[in-house]
Structure 1
């Protein structure tokens, strides 16, 4: 698996929370709450900490450090709209290392100070899985939760809710382990790699039908997230994967480390996302909703169509942030189809006019065929026609204008036949 397959957060720096004595007193109530109530509720966040930079996909990615949890209100603060019930299929334990009894780690895909992503096999079935693991001693583990060194609780919330309401275009949480020195989230293995890997393989040249297949699946996944009242907040090429190799119909949206529930104003107050994809309203500290994910998909749409980004790739971090916050994007001139441009511009428009996922799926772009072809297809067609069709010699001698028209008509239909053959 590529090292770009799953995102890891950076190394973290946050303020100290409660002292060790207070944490130890809270220990039993926390785990009793998790085990017997079988619910993971939302947690209030107090303050935003410094942002850090991580480099992937050949450009700088900006994430937010997570803020401090309010441990006093952890057990009593609930938002009914964002409450996520843990599936009974999930294993929640804290006395023994059940994860390492059930799964054998093959290799580390990515690692940071607090967590790592590993490729593992299920013992017995030998099925490949991907696990995101947080490790630490018991007292450090509880301190780790209450001081919010990692945005682990919202990540568990959203993944658990989505496991109870699965969708074919959303990655599934298979197992959840909360143990004495470990938290592990186990996901299905995505053998096909990322959307970025797929574009590199295709040399950033996709047919119109391939673009439509990919876009439909992403939008259907976002439509499902909207029904579950979840904003992903980090849609990008690296967070779109394929379950099967060379099967673009097996697309999955992954990595809910930056996800938030629509009514969780505290979580939404923290800037989170990737420059070049993130919606301007998030960077400008304005109110935002599900449409912020549509902006990110619009950025992906532009890459699928043209092979280029809406913002210059090799800019300094500050320059890229300024352009992104001003929504000063630039479209590639190779995109000429009116229907395509209409959908693309609406997805990248201001928040007030940006359509939701369901409206995008109903756009005429997905209904009417697009006759535009890539440069490679065009050259193949011209070469085919040049070899297959004889030149018209002396069109106005020894032949009537009527006969010439008929012959040109036949050439026209032959061209359409060759075009349809290349598209299929």
Structure 2
């Protein structure tokens, strides 16, 4: 079904090279023939399961409007594929930014953390849980801009209507929260565990659960079996470590929220100069050396074999047809807001 004056995606866009694979489909660069501009497009093959998932993803992206979240530009639902057109983020991910820095310090890590926490706080206050927070989803708009970092890939995102109401297992193994692995009902707090893991990696260069065996890794995550190795963490401020401890708390009720994390001493009390003096060059080298291994640990998983396959939130009670109508309506709004009028093109 075409959503733009009965034109199909291929009539208005030309697909270019593959950028990466997202949680549910391939992401390519694309070119708008009408507006002479490059975008990214997520292409997802249609079936009953992905129909509902994609409609949710587009509706959520349309609902969110934040400088540090990747925005949706256009959407097409056709016979065989869904096409989600988004802002093009062609500067790599946060790992690329760290590796490209001439000098990497704890201040740089805090600057990145502020952006991430601000984005997550906005999502959570909007009733959205991302469920796949990881460095590879912290994307750079370009290689030239140091500040244009945005959270992307909303393939696993959900609206949370009631606390602790989600039950499906999804995410990325080395960043997933313990309550998800334990099949316990959860909510936005699972993102905060993932944020803690991201900060851990950004400060020391490796994940807290480096295991060759995935089941063993999952057992360690469920137990909260991790530590700060003194050889790698002795030069990191105690305030940074305190924040990570607060985020990576297996007790969900005691885990820090995004708002609380933004008020932590590491974020608010330490001067830029103090953190600039804490060199993380060794961390930058580790990230560069372990990059292939870190990528191996970020393959997403989604387990549909469990008894708790169905989400307990009310969004599932809506039919796909209702979701499609809402998303199609939203798509026309997206198109109007994202593209200039013909008069503006002159």
The answer for the alignment partner of 1:103 in structure 2 is: 13
**TM-score, with length taken from structure 1:** 0.59
The answer for the alignment partner of 1:332 in structure 2 is: 229
- For structure 2, the residue ranges without an aligned partner over 5 or more in a row are 283-346
- Within 5 Å, give how 1:84-233 maps onto structure 2: 92=3, 96-110=6-20, 115-135=25-45, 141=46, 144-145=47-48, 148=49, 150=50, 152-202=51-101, 206-233=104-131
Q: 1:319 aligns with which of 181, 191, 216?
A: 216
Rounded Cα–Cα distance in structure 2 between residues aligned with 1:267 and 1:288: 6
- Give 1:273 deviation, angstroms: 0.8
> Structure 1 residue 348 and structure 2 residue 248: aligned?
yes
Any idea what SS the aligned residue of 1:272 has?
strand
Conserved 8 A contact 2:54-2:82: no
Deviates most, 261-270 or 321-330: 261-270
- Within 5 Å, give how 1:391-410 maps onto structure 2: none
> Structure 1 residue 242 and structure 2 residue 242: aligned?
no
- Say if 1:250 and 1:269 are closer, same or farther in 2 by CA, change over 3 A: same
CA RMSD of aligned residues (A): 2.7
Rounded Cα–Cα distance in structure 1 between residues aligned with 2:116 and 2:25: 28
- Give 1:301 deviation, angstroms: 0.4
Conserved 8 A contact 1:236-1:296: yes
Conserved 8 A contact 1:173-1:185: yes
- Say if 1:224 and 1:287 are closer, same or farther in 2 by CA, change over 3 A: same
Cα deviation, 1:371-400, whole Å, max 9, x if unaligned, reads 5511659xxxxxxxxxxxxxxxxxxxxxxx
Q: 2:258 aligns with which of 337, 352, 357?
A: 357
- Say if 1:134 and 1:337 are closer, same or farther in 2 by CA, change over 3 A: closer
- Give 1:96 deviation, angstroms: 5.0
Q: Taking CA–CA contacts closer than 8 Å with sequence separation of 6 or more, which of the two structures ends up with the larger relative contact order? A: 2
- Say if 1:360 and 1:241 are closer, same or farther in 2 by CA, change over 3 A: same
**TM-score, with length taken from structure 2:** 0.71
The answer for the alignment partner of 2:290 in structure 1 is: none
Which runs of at least 4 in structure 1 moved beyond 6 Å after TM superposition? Answer: 264-267
Conserved 8 A contact 2:20-2:27: yes
Conserved 8 A contact 1:241-1:251: yes
> Structure 1 residue 253 and structure 2 residue 151: aligned?
yes
Q: 1:282 aligns with which of 180, 184, 198?
A: 180
Rounded Cα–Cα distance in structure 1 between residues aligned with 2:14 and 2:148: 26
The answer for the alignment partner of 2:278 in structure 1 is: 373
The answer for the alignment partner of 1:399 in structure 2 is: none
Rounded Cα–Cα distance in structure 2 between residues aligned with 1:290 and 1:316: 28
- Give 1:362 deviation, angstroms: 1.0
- Give 1:110 deviation, angstroms: 4.7
Rounded Cα–Cα distance in structure 2 between residues aligned with 1:206 and 1:167: 27
> Structure 1 residue 305 and structure 2 residue 203: aligned?
yes
Cα deviation, 1:122-171, whole Å, max 9, x if unaligned, reads 11433111111234xxxxx5xx12xx1x3x42443243233243101111
- For structure 1, the residue ranges without an aligned partner over 5 or more in a row are 1-30, 32-90, 136-140, 378-424
Any idea what SS the aligned residue of 2:119 has?
helix
Rounded Cα–Cα distance in structure 2 between residues aligned with 1:196 and 1:376: 13
- Say if 1:294 and 1:111 are closer, same or farther in 2 by CA, change over 3 A: closer
Any idea what SS the aligned residue of 1:268 has?
coil
- Give 1:202 deviation, angstroms: 4.4
- Say if 1:246 and 1:295 are closer, same or farther in 2 by CA, change over 3 A: farther
Paired residue total: 273
Larger Rg: 1
